[in-house]
C-alpha cells in the first residue's frame, strides 16, 4: 500500500515534454506551452519578413505567425513533406506556429533525467536550449522558448 502512494508522489514530480525533430535532432518543449499540432497548410508570406518567418496562417479566425524552426535554428532549409507539421505554441498572450520536420511523442521525465544545457552561446546570441534529457541512451534538447522567440528579452 505504501508503494502505491510513493509511485503517485513520484508521478507528480514528472515533467511532460512534446518531442519533435528538426534536422535529425530531437528537441522538446514543455507540453503546457503547446496549444495544438496541425497539418502543414498554406502559409501567406509577409513582405520583408526575416528569413525564418514564413508568414501567417488563419486558425479558426486567429492570425498566427509561422516560424520555420530549421531556419530559426540555423539549419539548411529542406522541402516540406507529409510528416512536416506546425506546432502552435502559446507564449504568454501570443500564439506562434513553428514548422518542424515531425512530431514524435509526449514523454514524461523526472529531474534525474534532466541536466542543464552547456552554454555555447557567443556574445549577444542566446543559448536556445535550456535543459538536456538523457533518456535510454539518447539526448533530447529542451528549447528555451523565451530565448528562441525573444519573450521577455
Residue closest to 82 by CA, chosen among 39, 44, 120: 39
Low pLDDT (below 70) residues in the chain: 1-12, 119-126, 151-153
Phi/psi class of residue 134: alpha, beta or left (left: φ > 0; alpha: ψ in -120 to 50)?
A: beta
Decide if 17 contacts 142 (C-beta within 8 A): yes
Domain contains 6: no
Domain count, the chain: 1
Domain contains 127: yes
Domain contains 8: no
Whether the predicted model's global pTM rises above the 0.95 cut:
no
pLDDT of res. 120: 62
pLDDT in tens, 110-150: 888 887 777 665 544 457 877 888 777 788 999 888 888 87
Domain contains 38: yes
Domain span including residue 92: 14-148
Domain contains 5: no
Domain contains 52: yes
Domain contains 105: yes
Amino acid at each position: 500500500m505504501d508503494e502505491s502512494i510513493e509511485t503517485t508522489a513520484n508521478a507528480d514530480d514528472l515533467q511532460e515534454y512534446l518531442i519533435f525533430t528538426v534536422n535529425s535532432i530531437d528537441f522538446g518543449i514543455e507540453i503546457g506551452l503547446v496549444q495544438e499540432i496541425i497539418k502543414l497548410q498554406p502559409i501567406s508570406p509577409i513582405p520583408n519578413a526575416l528569413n525564418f518567418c514564413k508568414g501567417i496562417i488563419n486558425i479558426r479566425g486567429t492570425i498566427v505567425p509561422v516560424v520555420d524552426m530549421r531556419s530559426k535554428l540555423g539549419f539548411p532549409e529542406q522541402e516540406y513533406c507529409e510528416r512536416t507539421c506546425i506546432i502552435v505554441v502559446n507564449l504568454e498572450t501570443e500564439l506562434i506556429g513553428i514548422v518542424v520536420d515531425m512530431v514524435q511523442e509526449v514523454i514524461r521525465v523526472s529531474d534525474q533525467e534532466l541536466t542543464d544545457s552547456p552554454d555555447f552561446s557567443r556574445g549577444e546570441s542566446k543559448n536556445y536550449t535550456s535543459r538536456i534529457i538523457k533518456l535510454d541512451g539518447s539526448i533530447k534538447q529542451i528549447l528555451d522558448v523565451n530565448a528562441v522567440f525573444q519573450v521577455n528579452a
